[in-house]
Chains A and B, each alone.
Chain A
Amino acid sequence: MIIKNLTVRFGAFTAVDDVTLEIPDGAIVGLVGESGSGKSTLARAVSGLVPYTGAVEGVDPSRVQMVFQDPLTSLDPRMTVGASVAEGLRLPRAARQAEVERLLTLVSLPVSLAERYPRELSGGQRQRVAIARALGVRPALLIADEITSALDVSVQGAVLNLIRSLREEIGLSMLFISHNLAVVRYVSDVVAVMHRGRLVEMGPTEEVVGAPADDYTRSLLEAVPRLGRS
Chain B
Amino acid sequence: MRHLPRTPAGIAGTLLVALMVILAIAGPLIWGAEAERIDSAAILQGTSAAHPLGTDNLGRDILARVLVAGRLSLALAMIATLIGATAGVILGALPSVLPRRAARLVTGTVNALVAFPGLLLAMFTAVIAGLGARGAVLGIGAAVAPGFARLTQTLAASVAGADYVAVARMLGVSRWRVMTRHVLPNIAEPLILHLTQALGGALLALAGMSFLGLGVQPPSFDWGRLLFDGFARIYATPAVALGPAAAIALAGIGFNLLGDVLARAASRRATPAGAAAGRAVPEAGELGEPDPDAVLEVRDLTVTFPGGVTPVRGLSLTIAPGEIVGLVGESGSGKSLTASAIGGLVPYPGEVSAGRLRLCGADVRELPEAECRRLLGTSLAMVFQDPMAALNPALKVGGQLAEVATVHQGASRADAFARAVDRLEHVRIPEPATRARQHPHELSGGMRQRAVIAMGLMGAPRLIIADEPTTALDVTVQREILRLLREVTDETGAATLFISHDIAVIGELCHRVVVMYAGRVVEELPVEELASGAAHPYTRALVASLPDMETDRSLPLASIPGRQPSPAEVPDGCAFADRCELASAKCAELPPLIPYRAGHRVACWEAK
Q: Across the interface, do A74 and B163 meet the contact criterion of CB distance under 8 Å?
A: yes
Q: Given A48-B170, A64-B170, A223-B475, are A154 and B162 also a contact pair (CB < 8 Å)?
A: no
Binary B-proximity of A67-100 (CB < 8 A = 1, otherwise 0)? 0101001111111000000011010000000000
A179 an interface residue at 8 Å Cβ cutoff? yes
Given A34, A119, A134, which contacts B474 in the complex, CB threshold below 8 Å? A34
**Considering the chains assembled together, what is the distance between the CA atoms of A153 and B264 in angstroms?**
36
Expressed in whole angstroms, the minimum distance between the Cβ of A26 and any Cβ of chain B is 16
Q: Across the interface, do B557 and A78 meet the contact criterion of CB distance under 8 Å?
A: no
11 more contacts with CB within 8 A, not counting A90-B172, A153-B546, are A76-B182, A78-B186, A79-B181, A130-B167, A152-B564, A153-B503, A158-B557, A179-B475, A225-B509, A226-B508, A227-B543
Binary B-proximity of A134-176 (CB < 8 A = 1, otherwise 0)? 1011000000000000001111111011001000000000000
State the interface size on chain B (CB cutoff 8 A): 54
Q: Which of B557, B563, B564 has the most CB of A within 10 A?
A: B557
Q: Across the interface, do A88 and B501 meet the contact criterion of CB distance under 8 Å?
A: no
A224 an interface residue at 8 Å Cβ cutoff? yes
Which residues does A use to contact B, with CB under 8 Å? 34-35, 44, 47-49, 62, 64-66, 68, 70, 73-79, 87-88, 90, 119, 122, 130, 133-134, 136-137, 152-158, 160-161, 164, 179-183, 185-186, 205, 209, 219-230
Identify 24 residue pairs between A and B in the complex whose beta-carbon atoms are under 8 Å apart, listed by A's number.
A35-B474, A66-B170, A68-B167, A76-B182, A87-B171, A88-B171, A134-B171, A152-B331, A153-B503, A153-B542, A153-B545, A153-B546, A154-B542, A155-B563, A156-B557, A157-B546, A157-B558, A157-B560, A182-B546, A186-B551, A224-B504, A225-B507, A226-B548, A227-B530
**Considering the chains assembled together, what is the distance between the CA atoms of A73 and B161 in angstroms?**
10
**Considering the chains assembled together, what is the distance between the CA atoms of A220 and B549 in angstroms?**
12
Interface residues in B182-213 (C-beta closer than 8 Å to A): 182, 185-186
Given A47, A77, A209, which contacts B170 in the complex, CB threshold below 8 Å? A47
Given B170, B541, B546, which contacts A65 in the complex, CB threshold below 8 Å? B170
Binary A-proximity of B141-175 (CB < 8 A = 1, otherwise 0)? 00000000000000000000011101111111100
Q: Across the interface, do A34 and B557 meet the contact criterion of CB distance under 8 Å?
A: no
**Considering the chains assembled together, what is the distance between the CA atoms of A224 and B508 in angstroms?**
10
Interface residues in B544-577 (C-beta closer than 8 Å to A): 545-549, 551, 553, 556-560, 563-564
**Considering the chains assembled together, what is the distance between the CA atoms of A75 and B171 in angstroms?**
13
Q: Across the interface, do A160 and B330 meet the contact criterion of CB distance under 8 Å?
A: no
B502 an interface residue at 8 Å Cβ cutoff? yes
Q: Across the interface, do A78 and B185 meet the contact criterion of CB distance under 8 Å?
A: yes
**Considering the chains assembled together, what is the distance between the CA atoms of A46 and B547 in angstroms?**
28
**Considering the chains assembled together, what is the distance between the CA atoms of A205 and B508 in angstroms?**
24
Q: Across the interface, do A228 and B546 meet the contact criterion of CB distance under 8 Å?
A: no
Residues in B with CB closer than 8 Å to A68 are 163, 166-167
**Considering the chains assembled together, what is the distance between the CA atoms of A76 and B475 in angstroms?**
32
Q: Across the interface, do A122 and B171 meet the contact criterion of CB distance under 8 Å?
A: no
Residue of B nearest to A83 (CB): B181
Q: Across the interface, do B173 and A49 meet the contact criterion of CB distance under 8 Å?
A: no
**Considering the chains assembled together, what is the distance between the CA atoms of A157 and B553 in angstroms?**
12
Expressed in whole angstroms, the minimum distance between the Cβ of A85 and any Cβ of chain B is 10
Given B164, B173, B508, which contacts A73 in the complex, CB threshold below 8 Å? B164
Q: Across the interface, do B476 and A223 meet the contact criterion of CB distance under 8 Å?
A: yes
**Considering the chains assembled together, what is the distance between the CA atoms of A83 and B405 in angstroms?**
59
Q: Across the interface, do A160 and B547 meet the contact criterion of CB distance under 8 Å?
A: yes
Given A74, A78, A156, A164, which contacts B545 in the complex, CB threshold below 8 Å? A156
**Considering the chains assembled together, what is the distance between the CA atoms of A205 and B476 in angstroms?**
20
Q: Across the interface, do A230 and B547 meet the contact criterion of CB distance under 8 Å?
A: no
Q: Across the interface, do B530 and A186 meet the contact criterion of CB distance under 8 Å?
A: no
B396 an interface residue at 8 Å Cβ cutoff? no
Residues in A with CB closer than 8 Å to B530 are 227-228
Given B166, B169, B508, B564, which contacts A230 in the complex, CB threshold below 8 Å? B508
Q: Across the interface, do A186 and B543 meet the contact criterion of CB distance under 8 Å?
A: no
Q: Across the interface, do B553 and A186 meet the contact criterion of CB distance under 8 Å?
A: yes
**Considering the chains assembled together, what is the distance between the CA atoms of A205 and B170 in angstroms?**
29
Given B272, B475, B504, B548, which contacts A34 in the complex, CB threshold below 8 Å? B475
B528 an interface residue at 8 Å Cβ cutoff? yes
Interface residues in B323-364 (C-beta closer than 8 Å to A): 330-331
4 closest A-B pairs by beta carbon, nearest first, are A88-B171, A157-B559, A74-B163, A157-B557
Expressed in whole angstroms, the minimum distance between the Cβ of A77 and any Cβ of chain B is 8
Q: Across the interface, do A230 and B509 meet the contact criterion of CB distance under 8 Å?
A: yes
B438 an interface residue at 8 Å Cβ cutoff? no
Q: Across the interface, do B541 and A154 meet the contact criterion of CB distance under 8 Å?
A: yes
**Considering the chains assembled together, what is the distance between the CA atoms of A72 and B185 in angstroms?**
17
Residues in A with CB closer than 8 Å to B527 are 228, 230
